[in-house]
Chains A and B, each alone.
Chain A
């Protein structure tokens, strides 16, 4: 049973639309992350958070924003969707240093 949930699972949306991808975890983890996974499989860090009211930019953050108002919730917003945003988006959380990530099942976004 997944402890980290991403919705929607699949999304097809038109160019220029504003969208929010949801991510919630029930494990009480302070650290949360968003990754974009390209078709070649490589993971690109978009944003991360160390806890409530903390957000940091990753390598690929310029066209999106995040918020962390509650420990369990870390939504990702694309202000204006473009075809180049077509990708899989993975959310993850983490307990601490020696522990790895727990990943959600991902949101597959298609921008037409």
Chain B
């Protein structure tokens, strides 16, 4: 079945460091891909998405490119801030669009000043 694998955390970075959180997927057809962020004590928020190969999603300085040839959707940010400390989830929507999203296990990011 469809699955998402993302790098295990926790990831600890200094402020202004470069961030990469790896995400790879297994799916039939052409899934849509998402990154969600969860701040402490809150639900998940959609951070960005991409719906077809080579699409780049971006928001709040974060970017991810849908790479079909490597089945990847890595999250990047050039300069992290303390306020970026959160848990990040990669997810896919199977081709049918009706079945539930498939989530990775989450990666906890801590940014220290």
Do A and B share a complex?
Answer: yes
B77 CB contacts on chain A under 8 angstroms: none
- Chain B interface residue bracket vs A: 20 to 34
Q: Which residue of A lies closest to B108 (CB)?
A: A41
- Given A33-B100, A42-B105: A100 and B43 within 8 A (CB)? no
Q: Is the CB of B97 within 8 A of A101?
A: no
- Given A45-B100, A48-B100: A101 and B44 within 8 A (CB)? yes
B45 CB contacts on chain A under 8 angstroms: 103
- Tell me the complex Cα distance, A103–B103, Å: 14
Q: Is the CB of B97 within 8 A of A58?
A: no
| B106 partner, pick from A42, A98, A104, beta carbons under 8 A | A42
A61 CB contacts on chain B under 8 angstroms: none
A105 CB contacts on chain B under 8 angstroms: 42-43
- Given A96-B97, A97-B93, A106-B43: A43 and B103 within 8 A (CB)? yes
- Chain A interface residue bracket vs B: 20 to 34
Q: Is the CB of A100 within 8 A of B36?
A: yes
A92 CB contacts on chain B under 8 angstroms: 43-44
Chain A, 70-112, CB within 8 A of any chain B CB:
90, 92, 96-98, 100-106
Which of B32, B43, B51, B108 is most buried by chain A, counting CB atoms within 10 A of its CB? B43
Interface residues of B (CB under 8 A from A): 32, 34, 36, 38, 42-46, 49, 51, 87, 89, 91, 93, 96-98, 100-101, 103, 105-106, 108
